[in-house]
Amino acid sequence: MEPGITWYEVLGVLPGADAEKIRRKYQERTGLLRGEMVSGAPSNVLIVVRRAQEFLDGAWEILGDPASRIRYDELTGLRRRGGGLIPTGAFGSGSWVEFEDMGIAGEVGADLLGGLLELGDFFGPHPKPPRRVPVPDIRGLFWDVCLEVTGRLGLRVTSVRLTPRPLPVDGFVVDQSPRAPGKVRWGEAVTVHVWHPPARPGAPARPGAG
């Protein structure tokens, strides 16, 4: 998992979500990656499906086990050691979305947290945004996670829909331009190719603008 993206975001839940909601979101998102849903998809989509599944499985492994979830919350600063979740309002205006910015999915050591804070002014108290921000690798992430991550960094998103007749469900990012790693100017656009399961599962998915 990319630094700066929490396992909670991968599943689309807040840090205070109960165990049942976490389980339900995991099942909902993995259901969109089932074989019958992606049958007939191009090879590049199938490669990213495996990446997306790994992300979801990683989130479930950490958040689905109560003890593992507590350790993760403590290491990322979401929870006081030996105590409960830090209350809203502790970091700025108090929304959990802003508070999630302090967490890191994947290797959650203090060194990675320090690396995340290298964004400087973006996370600091100064209103002036940074001139350049890192390009996150968002391939394999669902569309709502893509918007959360890019929006946090001050990047705009231009989307290209890869499925002509998609189901009305959340899609996931297959490719992006520019690619990570690297840095771009704050406010610059990132073009993402988004794939949705087709309206008829098993039907070939051909690229199309969206």
Residue 5 pLDDT more than 50?
yes
pLDDT in tens, 141-182: 999 999 999 998 999 999 999 999 999 999 999 999 999 989
Residue 113 pLDDT more than 60?
no
CA 180 to centroid of chain Cα atoms: 15
In sequence order, the β-bridge partners of residue 185 are 132
**CB-based contact 68:62 (threshold 8 Å):** yes
In a domain, 200, yes or no: no
In a domain, 171, yes or no: yes
Q: Which of 12-16, 39-43, 81-85, 125-129 has the lowest mean pLDDT?
A: 81-85
- The pLDDT of residue 1: 66
pLDDT in tens, 37-69: 999 899 999 999 999 999 999 999 999 999 999
- The pLDDT of residue 104: 36
pTM of the complete model: 0.73
> Which of the four pLDDT bands, split at 50, 70 and 90, describes residue 80?
low
Residue 128's domain comprises 7-195
In a domain, 33, yes or no: yes
Q: Which residue has the higher pLDDT, 146 or 94?
A: 146
Q: What percent of the chain has pLDDT over 70?
A: 72
In a domain, 107, yes or no: yes
In a domain, 123, yes or no: yes
- The pLDDT of residue 204: 54
> Checking phi first, is residue 160 left (phi over 0); if not, alpha (psi -120 to 50) or beta?
beta
Cα separation of 88 and 115, whole Å?
24
In a domain, 202, yes or no: no
Mean of per-residue pLDDT scores for the chain = 79
When pLDDT is averaged across residues 98-126 and rounded to a whole number, the result is: 37
In a domain, 60, yes or no: yes
Q: Which residue has the higher pLDDT, 141 or 1?
A: 141
**CB-based contact 133:119 (threshold 8 Å):** yes
Q: Whose CA is closest to 179, among 131, 136, 116? A: 136
In sequence order, the β-bridge partners of residue 22 are none
DSSP helix/strand/coil, 167: coil
In a domain, 158, yes or no: yes
Q: How many domains does the chain have?
A: 1
**CATH code of 164's domain:** 1.10.287.110
What's the helix, strand, coil split of the chain in %, to 5?
40, 15, 45
